[in-house]
């Protein structure tokens, strides 16, 4: 498995206890498990800044997944947005227009957890509801190795950015995020 910082990365499929049930099921269905690693971490260090510092992972190799809720004519449209930790998602511009909604915001924590079956702070694009589009900034796909959530706070997934770009439901978007 690809080393990254001080993470102890092993094959994700060999450690189901480190994955949310939805993530485990999605990995099995996707069939790309041989290129995806998982690393146990201290759950209290799951937030990006603390995680990167503690495990010597560069911010540009860490990606965040946020759940968005957009509304148009009374209909709610859910989506996920994945951007590098060195950037900020253009939620009110690019994401709102892509989803074709009038209003958009980050989904409330309770809704995000209930709808995904994942832990807040560990939500990952792998295992989200299949009808949700997953918007991924092109910078993420360019990374040789990227760290994302595993569905739980006690571990992280490590995979090539290009592999994430091939995950079902992913839409790679140039300019989805801007540098911080």
* Architecture of the domain spanning 10-167: Alpha-Beta Complex (3.90)
* Alpha-carbon gap, residue 104 to 164, rounded angstroms: 24
* Beta bridge pairs of residue 29: none
Residues 105 and 68 sit within 8 Å (Cβ to Cβ): yes
Q: What is the pLDDT of residue 34?
A: 82
Q: Are 145 and 55 in contact (CB under 8 A)?
A: no
pLDDT value at position 32?
83
H/E stretch holding 25 reads helix 21-30
Confidence class for position 1, pLDDT limits 50, 70, 90: low
Query: pTM for this one?
Result: 0.96
What confidence score (pLDDT) does residue 35 get? 87
48-105 pLDDT per residue, tens? 999 999 999 999 999 999 999 999 999 999 999 999 999 999 999 999 999 999 999 9
In the sheet that holds 63-72, the strands lie side by side as 103-106, 63-72, 75-84, 134-137, 170-173
Q: How far apart are CA 77 and CA 169, in angstroms?
A: 14
**14-47 core/surface letters (b: 16 or more CB in 10 A; e: else):** ebeebbbebbbebbeeeebbeebbbbbbeeebbe
Can you tell me whether residue 41 is helix, strand or coil? coil
Give CA–CA dist 156/36, Å, rounded. Answer: 10
Q: Do 71 and 77 meet the contact criterion of CB atoms below 8 Å apart?
A: yes
């Amino acid at each position: 498995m690809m080393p990254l910082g001080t993470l102890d990365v092993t094959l994700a499929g060999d450690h189901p206890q480190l994955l949310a049930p939805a993530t485990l099921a999605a990995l099995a269905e996707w069939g790309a498990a041989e290129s995806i690693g998982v690393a146990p971490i201290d759950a209290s260090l799951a937030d990006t800044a603390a995680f990167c510092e503690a495990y010597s992972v560069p911010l540009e190799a860490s990606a965040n997944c946020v759940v968005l809720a957009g509304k148009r004519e009374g209909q709610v449209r859910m989506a996920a947005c994945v951007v590098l930790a060195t950037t900020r998602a253009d939620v009110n511009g690019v994401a709102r227009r892509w989803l074709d909604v009038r209003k958009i915001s980050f989904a409330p924590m309770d809704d995000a957890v209930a709808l995904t079956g994942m832990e807040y702070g560990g939500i990952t694009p792998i295992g989200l509801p299949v009808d949700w589009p997953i918007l991924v900034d092109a910078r993420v796909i360019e990374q040789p190795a990227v760290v994302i959530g595993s569905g739980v706070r006690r571990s992280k997934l490590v995979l090539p950015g290009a592999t994430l770009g091939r995950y079902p439901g992913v839409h790679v978007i140039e300019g989805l995020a801007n540098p911080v």
